[in-house]
Amino acid sequence: MRERTSTETLPGTLDLLIPKVLSRDSMHGYGIAQRLKGLSEDVLQVGESSLYPALQRLLLRGWVQSKWGVSDNNRRARYYRLTEVGRKQLARERRDFDRLIVAIQRVLEA
């Protein structure tokens, strides 16, 4: 069995974390990764190979929308924003996640 490092995320967690980050502001992919890293105090370091497939899933589900713009360093960047459908789904995902955490805590404390 392989040991998981602290920087790996559990499957499906990006589908919760990305909408949460986008709930405040639209951002480009690099900005999303940096926000996750900063908010988690460098524990979550999301690479492009995980981030962009997750963003694509969220786009296909209609949870986020994107448009092209110019970044702070004058480069072309794709900006993502949370849709109303995404906001509702974020609330559902958060409730489910909170239930899961409580269940895991019960098992660990038993």
What is the model's pLDDT at position 12? 78
CB 30 within 8 A of CB 77: yes
CB 23 within 8 A of CB 93: no
- Which architecture does CATH list for 14-109? Orthogonal Bundle (1.10)
pLDDT tens, position by position, 47-91: 999 999 999 999 999 999 999 999 888 999 999 999 999 999 999
pTM of the model: 0.85
Residue boundaries of the structural domains of the chain: 14-109
What is the model's pLDDT at position 10? 61
pLDDT band at 8 (very low <50, low <70, confident <90, very high): low
User: Which residue, chain included where needed, has tokens 């109303």?
Assistant: 84
CB 6 within 8 A of CB 45: no
